[in-house]
A and B are shown apart, each in its own frame.
Chain A
Amino acid sequence: MWLLKKDGNWHPIDASELVTANRVTPESFEGDLEHIASTGQVVIINFAGPNDGRGFSFAKRLKRYAPSLKLIASGKLTPDHARLCFQTGFDEVLLSDELVARQSASAWKSALENSVDRTYLEDKINSNLPSIWAERAQEINR
């Protein structure tokens, strides 16, 4: 298994390192945030499929509720999901060996490098860049 970081770097990880993480699935999204936030400092949110975007909204809510939680995305992701993960509150993306083997390291790197890294309305939780709107506001105030 591999962990992809926001800066595009990644490193192998032993599954035992995540044994204490709280794993949640789309079904548990119905559960209350307090319970999930109280059961550990690391939460792995599983994406049921590449077209299922519930994990993005759930991460956003959870990070709002408990900003200190470390959120890891896992499941059926493609390289192009990485940007969305980091912009919605995830700290890392967990990639299976199979996923890395099928979609090369260069594909993940290329997707991150070529993704649109700034939107109009970004959440500052995970962004090093100001949003377009925030930058415009700064320009007006200068």
Chain B
Amino acid sequence: MYVYDKHDQTFVEARSQEFRDQVKRRLAGELSEDEFKPMRLMNGLYLQLHAYMLRVAIPYGTLSSDQMRKLAYLAEKYDRGYGHFTTRQNIQYNWPKLVDVPDMLDELAKVQMHAIQTSGNCIRNVTSDPFAGVAGDEWIDPRPTAELLRQWSSLHPEFAYLPRKFKFAVTGAAEDRAALKFHDIGLKVKPGADSEPLFEIWVGGGQGRTPRIAVLFEDKVELVDLLPKLDSMLRVYNLHGRRDNKYKARIKILIAEYGLENYRSDVEEDLALQSLEPFAPAVAEYHRIAKDFERTDVPPRSVSSPKQEPQSPGLTAWIKQNVTSHKIAGYGVVSISLKPKGGIPGDATAEQMYALADLAERFSLSELRITHRQNIVLPYVPASDLAELYEELVVHGLAEDNVGLLSDIIACPGLDYCALATARSIPVAQTLSTRLRERESREDLSGLTLNISGCINACGHHHAASIGILGLNRAETENYQITLGGSSNDNASVGEILGPGFSQEEIPAAVDRILDFYQASKQPDENFNQVYQRLGKSAFKEAVYVAA
């Protein structure tokens, strides 16, 4: 893992001090709420329906046991005993008091964490592959790049007031586990000559009310050229992105309206004016950072396990569903579901977070990951410890064996918390997860995804799911629109709206009809999106609406 040096530490402490001063001026009435708003947002502090909400960054989803313990402590001391892990690998606290937030930031700084740029119209927390460094299909660990971007973008003076928020994702493996093509800029890292990284730059992806799949801006970009290029890409966006309509202010709209070739030409023109001197240390920085991610403390494990105790059906199912092969023989990558039957997706109690910290210490070299599907990963679990780990997870209510199944639902907080939401997401997710877990006990529902957003901003990634549910407000009544055929993997696609929306009560039956039709129609080895593409929207529409 990356470990802060004195400069990083001074930086986060200084930022915490700066925010303390801003809060003090706000509480003294020297700053109006309008003036304070962009400052608090740039530090991850929202004003939600009931209270302030603090979003804490978990850069590229990697954290240590000590850091997880600190998150648990914050939930216990400043919240109501729980936190919510988000689709961008962050954690949100829904009940902090404004006056306490500077103290929370000081606590975070003690364990090399912060809330810098987890909101606001700036470069947000950089996301990455939760299996980075341990996945068998990985070409190169994406996290050194993500950390380099974190440092470059943190309090970047030019990009604090962009037209809209700006999201980066970085991957370095064959499988896209970070929804790269739904980001403003996605970087795919591959090894070049002498194993130096080479980058594909994808630009213009995003969700919201105008979902777009990113397009290739340039491939084979060398490390030395990466940051100057990104700097110019952001500068052109800052100067030319629309500011007259917040719904048309993302870079995806600039690319669509201005054209990729014009944008590329402006970036090249800007690059010609750039001084490369400030970027000169970047290559050495990358290699300095990369050393921190090379784990040299992974003890070798025997591949052939000794005589095995008989496994319980629960353990067998959990290993099948939640454990992925590791690039190092004798180890497994364990995904811990935060989607218990009838539970709130992504929520964990302080007690569970303390337990996860302890379990990571015992079983996973004190390292954890957060996934964009709102689950937790223990990346270094010896195969011989799986049974013991499972028993511990059962005790803490963390042993749901549904990772990668349909009940592994993504959901935003929706109208229960969010000031922007138009409908509730959580109760829909809870009802569906109960119903789907029952179906999953009888039939194979792997390879499908179900995501729920409580408004058109699409924080629940409904566009990118096999089955997407979007909560809207129609004539002061919650109404849920269904989209089908979306995907966030390498062949990313945007789901299509199936037809008129449903009430909250009608949604479970509508999902059942979709699944019934899929199961009846699928051919061997065909997944949901393949069936959808083969049969088309009209066939599903008929099954859902006519059958009703």
- Given contacts A56-B157, A83-B157, A88-B157, A61 and B273 within 8 Å (CB-CB): yes
Closest chain-A Cβ to B523's Cβ sits at a distance in Å of: 53
On whether the beta carbons of A116 and B161 are closer than 8 Å, the reply is no
In the complex, which of the residues A52, A64, A124, A136 contacts B274, with contact meaning CB atoms closer than 8 Å? A64
**Which residue on chain A has the smallest CB distance to residue B285?**
A133
Q: Which residues of B contact A117 (CB under 8 A)?
A: 14
B323 interfacial contact with A, CB 8 Å? no
Alpha-carbon distance A141/B243, docked complex (angstroms): 45
Closest chain-B Cβ to A115's Cβ sits at a distance in Å of: 6
Interface residues on A, range: 35 or more
Alpha-carbon distance A54/B280, docked complex (angstroms): 26
On whether the beta carbons of B158 and A121 are closer than 8 Å, the reply is no
On whether the beta carbons of B161 and A135 are closer than 8 Å, the reply is no
Alpha-carbon distance A140/B284, docked complex (angstroms): 10
Alpha-carbon distance A75/B479, docked complex (angstroms): 44
A84 interfacial contact with B, CB 8 Å? yes
Q: Which residues of B contact A88 (CB under 8 A)?
A: 157-158
In the complex, which of the residues B11, B25, B156 contacts A132, with contact meaning CB atoms closer than 8 Å? B11
In the complex, which of the residues B22, B25, B238, B273 contacts A54, with contact meaning CB atoms closer than 8 Å? B238
Binary CB contact string for chain B from 243 to 274 against chain A (1 if under 8 A, 0 otherwise): 10000000000000000000000000010011
Alpha-carbon distance A136/B284, docked complex (angstroms): 10
Binary CB contact string for chain B from 3 to 45 against chain A (1 if under 8 A, 0 otherwise): 0010110010011011011100100001100110011000000
In the complex, which of the residues A64, A114, A120, A131 contacts B275, with contact meaning CB atoms closer than 8 Å? A64
On whether the beta carbons of A116 and B14 are closer than 8 Å, the reply is yes
**Which residue on chain A has the smallest CB distance to residue B237?**
A57
- Given contacts A56-B238, A114-B17, A122 and B278 within 8 Å (CB-CB): yes
On whether the beta carbons of B281 and A136 are closer than 8 Å, the reply is yes
B290 interfacial contact with A, CB 8 Å? no
A103-142 contacts to B, CB under 8 A, are 103-104, 107, 110-111, 114-124, 131-137, 140
B227 interfacial contact with A, CB 8 Å? yes
Closest chain-B Cβ to A69's Cβ sits at a distance in Å of: 14
Q: Which residues of A contact B155 (CB under 8 A)?
A: 116, 119
Binary CB contact string for chain B from 133 to 162 against chain A (1 if under 8 A, 0 otherwise): 000000000000000000110111111111
B279 interfacial contact with A, CB 8 Å? yes
In the complex, which of the residues B151, B157, B285 contacts A87, with contact meaning CB atoms closer than 8 Å? B157
Q: Which residues of B contact A56 (CB under 8 A)?
A: 157-161, 238
Q: Which residues of B contact A29 (CB under 8 A)?
A: 239
Closest chain-B Cβ to A37's Cβ sits at a distance in Å of: 12
Q: Which residues of A contact B15 (CB under 8 A)?
A: 116
- Given contacts A64-B274, A107-B25, A136-B288, A115 and B18 within 8 Å (CB-CB): yes
On whether the beta carbons of B281 and A51 are closer than 8 Å, the reply is no
- Given contacts A50-B38, A124-B278, A137-B284, A114 and B162 within 8 Å (CB-CB): no
On whether the beta carbons of B288 and A51 are closer than 8 Å, the reply is no
Alpha-carbon distance A57/B274, docked complex (angstroms): 12
B439 interfacial contact with A, CB 8 Å? no
B51 interfacial contact with A, CB 8 Å? no
On whether the beta carbons of B121 and A111 are closer than 8 Å, the reply is no
B277 interfacial contact with A, CB 8 Å? yes
Closest chain-A Cβ to B226's Cβ sits at a distance in Å of: 12
B-side interface mostly? helix
In the complex, which of the residues A53, A78, A118, A137 contacts B238, with contact meaning CB atoms closer than 8 Å? A53
**Which residue on chain B has the smallest CB distance to residue A115?**
B18
On whether the beta carbons of A53 and B158 are closer than 8 Å, the reply is yes
Alpha-carbon distance A102/B281, docked complex (angstroms): 42
On whether the beta carbons of A103 and B30 are closer than 8 Å, the reply is yes
Binary CB contact string for chain A from 51 to 79 against chain B (1 if under 8 A, 0 otherwise): 11110111011001100000000000010
B282 interfacial contact with A, CB 8 Å? yes
On whether the beta carbons of A121 and B152 are closer than 8 Å, the reply is yes
Alpha-carbon distance A103/B22, docked complex (angstroms): 13
Closest chain-A Cβ to B233's Cβ sits at a distance in Å of: 12
In the complex, which of the residues B31, B157, B162, B281 contacts A133, with contact meaning CB atoms closer than 8 Å? B281
**Which residue on chain B has the smallest CB distance to residue A110?**
B21
Alpha-carbon distance A120/B156, docked complex (angstroms): 8
In the complex, which of the residues B17, B20, B160, B279 contacts A121, with contact meaning CB atoms closer than 8 Å? B279
Alpha-carbon distance A131/B152, docked complex (angstroms): 11
Q: Which residues of B contact A116 (CB under 8 A)?
A: 11, 14-15, 18, 155
Alpha-carbon distance A54/B284, docked complex (angstroms): 31
Q: Which residues of A contact B273 (CB under 8 A)?
A: 61, 64-65
Q: Which residues of B contact A104 (CB under 8 A)?
A: 30
A80 interfacial contact with B, CB 8 Å? yes
Alpha-carbon distance A116/B19, docked complex (angstroms): 10
B31-65 contacts to A, CB under 8 A, are 31, 34-35, 38-39
B235 interfacial contact with A, CB 8 Å? yes
Q: Which residues of B contact A134 (CB under 8 A)?
A: 278, 281
A28-54 contacts to B, CB under 8 A, are 29, 50-54
On whether the beta carbons of B35 and A50 are closer than 8 Å, the reply is yes
- Given contacts A29-B239, A57-B235, A115-B18, A135 and B7 within 8 Å (CB-CB): yes
Q: Which residues of B contact A78 (CB under 8 A)?
A: 31, 35
Q: Which residues of B contact A54 (CB under 8 A)?
A: 238-239, 243
Alpha-carbon distance A104/B13, docked complex (angstroms): 26
User: 13 new A-B pairs (CB below 8 Å) besides A54-B243, A124-B278, A133-B281?
Assistant: A50-B34, A54-B238, A56-B158, A56-B161, A64-B275, A78-B35, A110-B25, A114-B18, A115-B18, A116-B15, A119-B11, A121-B152, A121-B282
Nearest 3 CB-CB pairs, A to B?
Answer: A53-B161, A87-B157, A114-B21
Enumerate chain A interface residues (CB-CB to B < 8 A). 29, 50-54, 56-58, 60-61, 64-65, 78, 80, 83-84, 87-88, 103-104, 107, 110-111, 114-124, 131-137, 140
